[in-house]
Amino acid sequence: MIVDGHNDLVARIWRGDEIRHVQLDEAARADFAGGFFALFVPSPMPPDPTSDIYALPLPEPIPREEAARVADELYDVFRSLPVRLATSPDDFQAGRVAAILHLEGAEPLSADLSDLDAWYARGLRSLGLVWSRANAFAEGVPFRFRSTPDTGPGLTAAGRELVRRCNSLGVLVDLSHLNEAGFWDVARLSSFPLVATHSNAHSLCPSSRNLTDAQLDAIGASGGVVGVNFAVAFVREDGGQVAATPLEEIVRHIAYVADRIGIDHVAFGSDFDGALVPEALGGIAGLPQLVGALRVGGFDDEAVAKVTHRNWLRVLRDTWS
């Protein structure tokens, strides 16, 4: 069974774009049991994910009223999918797809958090404070190759309160896209395992979107998980947007995280339908090939089970309980 840390299927359907990776009719054959389905409010002119040079400026913040309107439309798309809304780890079972409702960027929320309970009632169980651009809660990292994630200030007062409220509700706080100062603010505030749903090892690919060794260590020490992103720009040593990137590059990051902080703290975080991934993978239909590459790379049956689903289910149980 495979549980995945991130996909952008909902935004792709909302925009009317062709689905590239998350073909749900392939799920059963690929042992894909679902995972985190993002509600992402795009900027008017989002960065081109196929740009050869990954040094893109951050878009301007989106007004909260506009973000809330779009998020409602995205939610309607999410609920139209032939999936089970996941509010318990037990919702993930072989032979069906369960979807965690995840806000990628807190722009749709009021700064006073007066609507957070309503989103929880809708099924929200995971939230990323930012999608790179700044908002009322935090500041994210720009898409920049050969950059650390130390690119700006930490959480605002509203952001710190959002982390506390998520802890009280049992909503997972996602550290992906958050800058380093914000990361450490969350690490100090949160009582739950630290999680980055779709980020990689900065030591192997020096992108601003990837995690330093110190950040990885903090996630491991907290009992958390890093969902390794399949985006070629975040796995390749040269940061290149090269579709012919071999699957072994993804395995390299999984092995690095496992070696540094333990096999219990690494999982899949594909970024399907939101990034350029290796053409050898294609989409969820290719996930068994990635599992095969893990085995060739020395991962035994128990390690493969932890990477593919057990680690995610453990962290969800620790957070949602």
Give me the domains of the chain, ranges plus CATH numbers: 2-320 (3.20.20.140)
User: 149-202 pLDDT, tens per residue?
Assistant: 999 999 999 999 999 999 999 999 999 999 999 999 999 999 999 999 999 999
User: 1-32 pLDDT, tens per residue?
Assistant: 999 999 999 999 999 999 999 999 999 999 99
Q: What pTM did the predictor assign?
A: 0.96
Mean pLDDT computed over 65-93: 98
CA 93, CA 224: separation in Å to the nearest integer?
Answer: 22
Per-residue model confidence (pLDDT) at position 44 = 74
Mean pLDDT computed over 100-125: 98
Per-residue model confidence (pLDDT) at position 281 = 97
Q: How many CA within 13 A on the CB side of residue 113?
A: 16
> Above pLDDT 70, what percent of the chain?
96
Non-local CB neighbours of 142 within 8 Å, separated by 6+ positions: 55, 56, 57, 58, 132, 151, 208
Q: Which tokens go with 168?
A: 């009280």
**pLDDT over 50 (residue 53):** no
Say which amino acid occupies 309.
H
Count CB atoms within 10 A of the CB of residue 79: 14
